[in-house]
């Protein structure tokens, strides 16, 4: 089956922070899993490069906007690669092909676009128009960005959301556009009921850094109109037939931008006569010591520092197991160190070291394990697949980890080193069983931990040798 997985494209008004890792890791875990199950995966990542806040930041720094976005886009690309993310497509909204295609998208939506005047509020942090009700409820200050809204009085093009509201509501209610987790669905339905038509352009007198509106030099497109379209322009729409990969199997987004993906985006797609994505997977926020990461609080965690501390597997392990797939979760250095030393190094790293060593000492090689059908019986079990299919990644790795702990317990209980002294043949049989258990548990870890591939190699080498340096050297005495 063909599978298309997308991630939100971050604004390039700064370097990546720890929170940005969440989109990529969730998408990458699913992508690796779907590939293991024999699917052909297309996996988009990219950068969102237009809009007010980028224009403003580059101006503040006195840098050419294009140079500024080039530099920051590259930082995101490096970061994504450092996370071991196996994407297939990287899109930048300043790519010529994207700009030309998004203009064609605009033309195709013409029947649903009208011109009007806007007089109201705008949040630059969210790049969002704020309704009067929201303004009142928040006392004029954006709760996400802690900044007062700015007053706008301008002429804009509007997209007639009203044309599609009923259809979107039905699709969400019937799970034809599935929103996960379930509790987010009701939030979206409430927002949808009150959603006004959407302003989809800005006058160039207020914003220059955007995609020109076709046929009107005085307007550029609203950044969300431009950014959302990336999911299909990257596949070649409308120049190419995209039906092989569209609709997307899953689109991964953070909770702050679900509203754009569950309301404006479906409306654009319906306006284009395209099917809606099958699932919107909405994750929570990564907090630092229980609080939102913010420069003014001084609790921003640099993801590169975290990656460099114990390597990629430790990073991916923590994010999969200790950052819940669906709700806000905390990062602290203490928790990170603890997870690395007491779980990854103890449960998994030591197990690999110990068992490969026992195999080595007892002359267990590839041929022996093969003759005991160890490799041919490796499979992803149904319970695990059910969790992965529901995108319950934290539960799936938890399940895999229990199996790793089971192998540790079986070694302790059966004591192959003692058996070897009395009955070497029996010890070999026992070790083949234990190696089989480890390789089965290890298989379940592959979407999460690149090290799992290495473990497979260790146990399928002609001669099994323990790693010279442990996979996860301990850093604390305990």
Q: Is residue 226 classed exposed, middle or buried when 0-12, 13-18 and 19+ CB atoms within 10 A define those classes?
A: buried
Cα distance between residue 412 and residue 225, in whole Å:
59
Shortest separation between residue 23's beta carbon and ligand MSP, angstroms:
5
Is 292 one of the catalytic residues? yes
Burial 288-308 (b: 16+ CB within 10 A, else e): beeebbeeeeebebebeebbe
Residue 435 beta carbon to ligand MSP: minimum distance, rounded to whole angstroms: 38
Radius of gyration of the chain from its Cα atoms, rounded to whole angstroms: 26
Q: Compare residues 144 and 363 and give the one whose CB is closer to ligand MSP.
A: 144
Report CA-CA distances (Å) from 53 to 39, 118, 173, 253, 296.
39, 20, 35, 20, 18
Give how far Cα 110 sits from Cα of 105, 191, 336, 355, Å. Answer: 9, 25, 51, 65
Active-site residue identified among 53, 112, 126, 171: 126
- Asked about 126 being catalytic, the answer comes back as yes
Q: Which residue is nearest to ligand MSP (CB)?
A: 254
Which lies closer to ligand MSP via its Cβ, residue 213 or residue 253? Answer: 253
Q: Please, which residue, 24 or 348, has the CB nearer to ligand MSP?
A: 24
Q: What is the binding site for ligand MSP (CB under 6 A)? A: 8-11, 19-20, 22-23, 48, 227-228, 230, 253-254, 256-257, 285-286, 293
Assess whether 142 carries a catalytic annotation.
yes
In the complex, least distance from residue 93 CB atom to ligand MSP, rounded to whole angstroms: 9
Give the active site residue among 20, 57, 112, 403. Answer: 20
Buried b (16+ CB within 10 A) or exposed e, 144-171: eeeeebeebebebbbbbbeebbeebbeb
Residue 410 falls in the annotated catalytic set: no
State yes or no: is 50 an active-site residue: no
Q: Select which of 104, 108, 292, 410 is catalytic.
A: 292
Residue among 9 and 267 whose Cβ is closer to ligand MSP: 9
Establish whether 20 is a catalytic residue.
yes
The least distance separating ligand MSP from the CB of residue 46, rounded to whole angstroms, comes to: 9
Structure tokens at 379: 């499979």
Q: Which of 125, 177, 182 is nearest to 327 (CA)?
A: 182
Q: Nearest CA to 156 among 106, 119, 121?
A: 119
Catalytic pick from 50, 57, 112, 123?
Answer: 123
Asked whether the CA dihedral 313, 317, 318, 319 is positive or negative, the reply is positive
Minimal distance, residue 167 CB to ligand MSP, in Å:
21
Nearer to ligand MSP among residue 57 and residue 446 (C-beta):
57
The active-site residue, picked from 56, 86, 145, 255, is: 145
Active site positions, annotated: 17, 20, 123, 126, 142, 145, 292, 295
């Amino acid at each position: 089956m063909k599978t298309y997985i997308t991630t939100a494209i971050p604004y390039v008004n700064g370097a990546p922070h720890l929170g940005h890792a969440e989109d990529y890791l969730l998408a990458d875990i699913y992508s690796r899993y779907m590939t293991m199950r024999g699917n052909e995966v297309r996996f988009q990542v990219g950068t969102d490069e237009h809009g007010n806040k980028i224009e403003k930041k580059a101006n503040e720094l006195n840098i050419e906007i294009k140079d500024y976005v080039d530099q920051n886009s590259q930082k995101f690309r490096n970061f994504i690669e450092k996370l071991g993310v196996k994407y297939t497509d990287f899109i930048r909204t300043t790519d010529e092909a994207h700009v030309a295609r998004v203009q064609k998208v605009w033309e195709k939506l013409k029947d649903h676009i009208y011109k009007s005047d806007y007089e109201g509020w705008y949040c630059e942090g969210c790049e969002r128009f704020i309704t009067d009700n929201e303004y009142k409820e928040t006392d004029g200050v954006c709760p996400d960005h802690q900044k007062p809204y700015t007053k706008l009085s301008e002429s804009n093009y509007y997209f007639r959301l009203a044309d599609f509201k009923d259809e979107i509501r039905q699709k969400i209610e019937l799970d034809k556009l599935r929103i996960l987790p379930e509790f987010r669905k009701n939030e979206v339905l409430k927002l949808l009921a009150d959603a006004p038509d959407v302003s989809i352009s800005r006058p160039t007198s207020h914003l220059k850094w955007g995609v020109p509106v076709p046929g009107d030099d005085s307007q550029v497109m609203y950044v969300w109109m431009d950014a959302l379209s990336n999911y299909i322009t990257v596949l070649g729409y409308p120049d190419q037939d995209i039906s092989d990969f569209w609709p997307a199997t899953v689109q991964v987004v953070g909770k702050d931008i679900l509203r754009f993906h569950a309301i404006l985006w479906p409306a654009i797609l319906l306006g284009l006569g395209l099917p809606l994505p099958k699932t919107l997977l909405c994750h929570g926020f990564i907090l630092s010591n229980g609080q939102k990461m913010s420069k003014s609080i001084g609790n921003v965690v640099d993801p590169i520092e975290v990656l460099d501390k114990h390597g990629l597997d430790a990073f991916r392990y923590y994010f999969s197991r200790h950052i819940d797939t669906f709700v806000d979760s905390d990062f602290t250095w203490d928790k990170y160190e603890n997870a690395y030393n007491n779980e990854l190094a103890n449960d998994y790293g030591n197990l690999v070291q110990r068992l490969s060593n026992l195999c080595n000492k007892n002359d267990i090689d590839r041929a022996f394990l093969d003759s005991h059908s160890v490799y041919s019986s490796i499979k992803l079990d149904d319970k695990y697949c059910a969790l992965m299919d529901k995108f319950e990644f934290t539960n799936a790795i938890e399940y895999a980890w229990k199996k790793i702990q089971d192998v540790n317990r079986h070694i302790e209980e059966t004591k192959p080193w003692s058996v070897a002294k009395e009955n070497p043949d029996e010890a070999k049989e026992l070790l083949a069983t234990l190696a089989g258990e480890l390789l089965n548990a290890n298989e379940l870890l592959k979407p999460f931990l690149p090290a799992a591939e290495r473990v497979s190699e260790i146990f399928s080498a002609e001669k099994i040798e323990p790693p010279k340096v442990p996979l996860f050297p301990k850093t604390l005495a305990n």
